[in-house]
C-alpha cells in the first residue's frame, strides 16, 4: 500500500447559511487562485443560477488548491436537508470532513445529519466555528455544543480528538486561538489550510493493482459531453485507456474508452494524461455512465460497492382526480 503524501481530500459540510461557501472563497484566495487584477466573484462555487438566486448550495462541487507543495481536493457539499443524498455520495471521495458551524446558531439539523453520516464512515473531522465577527457570536458556547453533539452521535476516541479552528470566511481570517482574533493577530486563512495538511490523512492504495474508480458525481461540458467524477480507489487511469464500466444495481458490464482525463485545479479543470490512487478525476468519453457505476480494469473488472442513500422522508402519490366536482369551476 502506497501513501500519497502530498495530497489531501476533504469535504466541507454545514447547515445552510453557516458560511461554508464563503470559507471555500477564502481558501481559494489564500491559495492564490486569483490574479491580482482579476474580478473576484463571491460564493464562486455556487455557480448554478438557482443556487445564486437562493443563496444556498444545491449541487456538490469540486475544486483543488495548491498550497505549500500540497494538493488539497475540496468538495463543497449542500447545506440543506433536501439535498442530503448529494452529501452521502461525495463523502465516498474524501478522507476527512471540515464541519462548519455558525458561531451564534451552533449545530443545526443538517449539521447533525451530515456529521452522523461522516462519523459512520469513519472520516476524521475538523471543526470550524465560523462567523466569529458577528456581534452576537458566542464561540466558546458553540464549541461545547459541538462536542456534546459528537458524543451524542457516538464518535469514537480518535474522532473526538478533532482540532477546532475559529474563522470569519467573509473577512478571510482564521485562527486556532480566539485570543489572537481578539488581539487583532489573526491576519489570513493559513491556519485552516495548515490544519488540513497536518490533520487530514493522506490517501492510501495500491498503485500497481488493477484500476478501480467509483463514480460519485456527474458533470457536463458543452464540448466533451457527460463527465464522470470520482476517486481512484486502486491502480492508475490513463487517457485513451480501454476500461470496463460495471453498472450500479445489476451485473451488466460494457467496454469503454477514456477519451479525456481531467482533474480539478482552482475554479476549472486541467487535462492530464494519467492519475493514480487517491486523486479525484473527471472522465469523459462514456456517454451513458451514471452515479454508482465503477470504472475498472478491462482484464479484471471488480465493481466497488456504492453507498446506500437514505430513503426520502416524504412520499407523495399523484393520481387522477375522480371527485364528482372534477373539471368544474369553483
Query: DSSP string spanning 262-297?
Result: EEEEBTEEEE-SEEETT-EEEEES-TT--TT-EEEE
- Do residues 278 and 231 make contact, with C-beta atoms less than 8 angstroms apart? yes
Q: What is the pTM of this model?
A: 0.82
Residue-range definition of the domain harbouring residue 33: 2-199
Q: What contacts 134, CB < 8 A, 6 or more positions away?
A: 103, 104
Q: 147 and 194 in one domain?
A: yes
Is 270 contained in some domain?
yes
Is 317 contained in some domain?
no
Is 218 contained in some domain?
yes
pLDDT for the residue 251: 75
pLDDT for the residue 261: 93
CATH code of the domain covering residue 213: 2.40.30.10
pLDDT for the residue 44: 44
pLDDT for the residue 221: 83
Q: 159 and 285 in one domain?
A: no
pLDDT for the residue 265: 85
As a whole number of angstroms, the distance between CA 72 and CA 70 comes to: 6
Q: Name the stretches of the chain with pLDDT < 50.
A: 35-59, 80-84
Q: 60 and 176 in one domain?
A: yes
Residues in the chain: 330
pLDDT for the residue 277: 92
pLDDT for the residue 307: 64
pLDDT for the residue 17: 77
Q: Which residues pair with 205 in a beta bridge?
A: 2
- Do residues 267 and 219 make contact, with C-beta atoms less than 8 angstroms apart? no
Per-residue pLDDT tens for 154-170?
999 999 999 999 999 88
- Do residues 174 and 164 make contact, with C-beta atoms less than 8 angstroms apart? no
Q: 252 and 173 in one domain?
A: no
Amino acid at each position: 500500500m502506497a501513501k500519497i503524501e502530498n495530497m489531501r481530500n476533504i469535504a466541507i459540510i454545514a447547515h445552510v447559511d453557516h458560511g461554508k461557501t464563503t470559507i471555500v472563497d477564502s481558501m481559494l484566495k489564500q491559495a492564490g487562485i486569483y490574479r491580482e487584477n482579476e474580478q473576484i466573484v463571491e460564493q464562486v462555487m455556487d455557480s448554478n443560477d438557482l443556487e445564486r438566486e437562493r443563496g444556498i448550495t444545491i449541487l456538490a462541487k469540486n475544486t483543488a488548491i495548491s498550497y505549500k507543495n500540497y494538493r488539497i481536493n475540496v468538495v463543497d457539499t449542500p447545506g440543506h436537508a433536501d439535498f442530503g443524498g448529494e452529501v452521502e455520495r461525495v463523502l465516498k471521495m474524501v478522507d476527512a470532513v471540515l464541519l462548519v458551524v455558525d458561531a451564534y446558531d451552533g449545530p443545526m439539523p443538517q449539521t447533525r445529519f451530515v456529521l452522523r453520516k461522516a462519523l459512520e464512515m469513519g472520516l476524521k473531522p475538523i471543526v470550524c466555528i465560523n462567523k466569529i465577527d458577528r456581534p452576537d457570536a458566542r464561540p466558546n458556547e458553540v464549541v461545547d455544543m459541538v462536542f456534546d453533539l459528537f458524543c451524542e452521535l457516538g464518535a469514537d476516541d480518535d474522532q473526538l480528538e478533532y482540532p477546532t479552528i475559529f474563522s470569519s470566511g467573509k473577512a478571510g481570517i482564521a485562527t486556532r486561538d480566539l485570543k489572537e482574533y481578539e488581539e487583532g493577530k489573526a491576519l489570513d486563512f493559513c491556519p485552516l489550510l495548515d490544519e488540513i495538511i497536518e490533520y487530514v490523512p493522506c490517501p492510501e492504495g495500491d498503485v500497481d493493482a488493477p484500476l478501480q474508480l467509483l463514480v460519485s458525481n456527474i458533470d457536463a461540458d458543452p464540448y466533451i459531453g457527460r463527465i464522470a467524477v470520482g476517486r481512484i480507489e486502486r491502480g492508475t487511469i490513463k487517457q485513451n485507456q480501454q476500461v470496463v464500466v460495471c453498472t450500479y444495481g445489476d451485473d451488466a458490464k460494457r467496454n469503454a474508452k477514456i477519451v479525456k482525463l481531467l482533474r480539478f485545479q482552482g475554479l476549472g479543470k486541467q487535462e492530464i494524461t494519467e492519475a493514480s490512487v487517491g486523486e479525484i478525476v473527471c472522465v469523459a468519453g462514456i456517454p451513458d455512465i451514471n452515479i454508482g457505476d465503477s470504472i475498472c480494469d478491462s482484464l479484471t473488472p471488480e465493481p466497488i460497492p456504492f453507498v446506500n442513500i437514505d430513503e426520502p422522508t416524504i412520499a407523495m402519490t399523484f393520481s387522477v382526480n375522480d371527485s364528482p366536482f372534477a373539471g368544474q369551476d369553483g
